[in-house]
Amino acid sequence: MSIHDEMTATSDSFWEIGKYSRTVKRCDNGYKLCDNLRQLIEQRAEIEKGYSKNLLGWTKKWNDFLDKGPEYGTTQAMWRGLLEESNSTAELHTVVAENLMQKVYQGIKSWQKENYHKSMMHYKETKEFDDGFKKAQKPWEKKYTKVMSNRKDYHNACKAEKSTANQVNNMRSDDSVALDTKKKMEERLSKCQQEVAGLKDKYEASLNDINNYNAKYIEDMTEIFQKCQEFEKKRIEFFKSTFYDIHQCLDLSVVPQFPQIYTDLHNVIGKTDSDQDLRWWSNNNGSDMAMNWPQFEEYSPDLQSISKKERKSQLHSNDGITITSIRHKGEFAPASPNAGGYNRQSSNKTNDSDNGRKNSIGIILPRNPSVGPLKPQRSPSLHKQSENRTKPEGAPSSLVDKNETRPIPEGQNRSPPTPAKRTLIRNQSGSSIQQKVEYDESLNPFGDDDEDENDKVDDEK
């Protein structure tokens, strides 16, 4: 066991060699505690933000429920009052999180930077304290080491002297031991006794020396220790001020808006009126609602309105037609060239707000049911064009009618339009009626064989 091991094993006092290291380490711990406190504040700010976010999400969820739900009237206002409290509380907690990060967190970071100056391996303040303690303790350490060494030598000499004394006593009672041997052992014992006396004096002298230096040692070590204490006091006072700032950020009772939130909530709850809600329900959904009672309506043979049920089914189907006008057969509008002499009725799409009828069309009815369909009359010019379908020899680039001098432009369809019959069909949109043109053999005055065959097939279909 070394001398230093013996010293460290005897005591755990600050005055022991190297025991000041705990005070020096406290300086490093102060910097780490600043980091820990900043981490604590950052986590609390995240908690405040998360709480605010959860409150807002919860508020949105239940506001959507109230928008679509069955609750109504002042009772619904009571629900919304609670949700408004949640919104206001969420805003306050968001402000708490911002204050913690902007004021407290940044304040700790700035103080930490001002009071701890980091070098390559350590902090400048820690190095100064450590060097100061080493310088104050080094002279005392030398004296202390000398005392411990003298003590060890003295104790070893005492041990040897006692062992020699036992041997001499044993030889004195033993007659078999030669006188010369006994004499040598007595001389050895005397020498050990003299050595013990000398080491004792030396040991006592080193003790006196270190005891005389203890006052100086205590003074120097205390001076450095007080500097450490002042530095630590500065840190503790700063932490105390910081925790006051945290308290100020978290204490919502001092915020003027906080009590007002719950005052408003209490007022909203107090305004709930069951009679008012029941009266509103009766006016809008109950016995106090207005009613279109049935009244006498004159019968109209020409224009009949479709019942509400039938109208609703027509809006969702592809086959409903509403009669809007009647025109007897024979009262034709001017012929259209695309329809071969017949009037092509376009579909009428009426506005729902005007008459509530989506699909309407004018229907042409015969004046007399016994009268058959009228045959279209062909114009002479069209009949003449049908007789000259081939280009005459020697004719110019533009075709010339035999009976008329009017030129027929190239590319014009020289075949006469075939009379058509009309059938009404609904287009894909379901909002209008359009005509479908089919060729009818009975209405074709020209009697083309190919067209007759095609018309027969269409008629059979």
| Secondary structure of residue 392 in the 3-state scheme | coil
Burial (Cβ within 10 Å: 0-12, 13-18, ≥19) of residue 157? buried
340, pLDDT greater than 60: no
DSSP one-letter string for 123-149: BHHHHHHHHHHHHHHHHHHHHHHHHHH
Q: Give the mean model confidence (pLDDT) for residues 156-165.
A: 89
Least confident of 66-75, 227-236, 306-315, 345-354: 345-354
Distance CA 19, CA 111 (A): 29
Q: Do 27 and 235 contact (CB within 8 A), yes or no?
A: no
pLDDT of residue 108: 94
DSSP one-letter string for 274-302: HHHHHHHHHHHHSTTS-----------SS
Q: Enter the DSSP assignment of 397.
A: S
Torsion of CA 167, 171, 173, 176, to 10 degrees: 150
- β-partners of residue 328 are 365
| Secondary structure of residue 407 in the 3-state scheme | strand
Domain(s) labelled CATH 1.20.1270.60 in the chain stretch across 20-116+253-288, 123-234
CATH superfamily of the domain spanning 20-116+253-288: Arfaptin homology (AH) domain/BAR domain (1.20.1270.60)
pLDDT of residue 179: 78
Q: How do strand 407-408 and strand 399-400 relate by DSSP bridges? A: antiparallel
Least confident of 65-69, 240-244, 437-441: 437-441
- Residue whose structure tokens are 């909002």: 431
pLDDT of residue 453: 52
* Token pair in block for residue 121: 């391996």
pLDDT in tens, 371-408: 444 444 444 444 444 444 444 444 444 444 444 445 55
Q: Is the dihedral of CA 232, 233, 239, 243 positive or negative?
A: positive
Distance CA 319, CA 361 (A): 13
Query: What is the identity of the amino acid at 188?
Result: R
Distance CA 184, CA 180 (A): 6
- Helix (H) or strand (E) holding 156, with range, is helix 124-172
Helices (H) then strands (E): counts for the chain: 12, 7
Burial (Cβ within 10 Å: 0-12, 13-18, ≥19) of residue 154? buried
Q: Give the mean model confidence (pLDDT) for residues 154-168.
A: 88
* Token pair in block for residue 13: 């006092």
Neighbours of 149 (CB within 10 A): 14
Cα angle, residue 188 at apex, residues 182 and 191 outer, rounded to 5°: 145
Tell me the HSE value of 324 on the side-chain side, using a 13 A CA sphere: 15
Q: pLDDT class for 410, splitting at 50, 70, 90?
A: low
Burial (Cβ within 10 Å: 0-12, 13-18, ≥19) of residue 141? middle
Q: pLDDT class for 352, splitting at 50, 70, 90?
A: very low
Q: pLDDT class for 205, splitting at 50, 70, 90?
A: very high
Distance CA 219, CA 229 (A): 15
Q: pLDDT class for 80, splitting at 50, 70, 90?
A: very high
153, pLDDT greater than 70: yes
Q: Do 74 and 272 contact (CB within 8 A), yes or no?
A: yes
pLDDT of residue 454: 52
Q: pLDDT class for 437, splitting at 50, 70, 90?
A: very low
pLDDT of residue 399: 42
Distance CA 176, CA 24 (A): 68
Neighbours of 263 (CB within 10 A): 10
Neighbours of 199 (CB within 10 A): 19
Neighbours of 83 (CB within 10 A): 18
Q: pLDDT class for 12, splitting at 50, 70, 90?
A: confident
Query: What is the identity of the amino acid at 78?
Result: M
Query: What is the identity of the amino acid at 108?
Result: I
Cα angle, residue 41 at apex, residues 39 and 44 outer, rounded to 5°: 110
pLDDT of residue 395: 46
- β-partners of residue 68 are none
CATH of domain 123-234: 1.20.1270.60
